[in-house]
Amino acid sequence: MASDVQAKRPKLESVGGECKCHGKLPDDRFTKLHDVIEEYKDKPGSLIPVLHEAQKLFGCLPEDVQQFVAKGLGVPESEVYGVATFYSLFSLKPKGKWTISVCLGTACYVKGAADCLEALKKELGIDIGGTSEDGLFTLEGVRCVGACALAPVVVIGDTVYAKVKPEDIKKILAEHVEAHSAEAHVS
């Protein structure tokens, strides 16, 4: 499933998280979104799948994209906004190139995940939910990722970092950037 999603994800020329989300550029993503809406139109329960596709196209769900979806599906804007803000999978703001998920499950927490999180906040200069200024990282706290034996766990993009110590954070980030810079934009 994940690779399927990956394959469909268009390569964006923008790097560093600067999604050109504001729809003012002549851009064919709205044409593509239009086709998606046409496909789902008149089917009950189509809002969530259409928002998924929209997020794949744009990287996030900014205002004009939500309005476009609302108009296209004939759904009230307030409802689109309600759904887009309800599910944590949807994001209104552009995300960084990689999402850092710090596991805050019991085992990781006991093993010092909170200190790792603090170190990440300090290193990146952001809070949970924020994106670093260089657009590379979005920081998130997640519940148990199911790898308790490796606690504390930090997942960056698709890479799992095990038994992380707060003092390793700087090195991990630098290594990650070096190793994965060639990847497509992931959000």
Interface residues toward another protein, by CB under 8 A: 63, 66-67, 76-82, 85-86
- CA dist 108 and 114 (Å) reads 8
- Smallest gap from residue 54 Cβ to another protein (A): 15
Distances (CA, A) of 127 to 28, 70, 81, 123: 34, 31, 23, 11
Query: Can you tell me which residue has the tokens 């499950």?
Result: 105
- Smallest gap from residue 77 Cβ to another protein (A): 4
Residue 90 vs 177, nearer CB to another protein: 90
Residue 86 vs 110, nearer CB to another protein: 86
Do 92 and 85 form a contact (C-beta atoms < 8 A)?
yes
- Smallest gap from residue 60 Cβ to another protein (A): 13
**Strand pairing of 159-161 and 98-103?**
unpaired
Residue 21 vs 156, nearer CB to another protein: 21
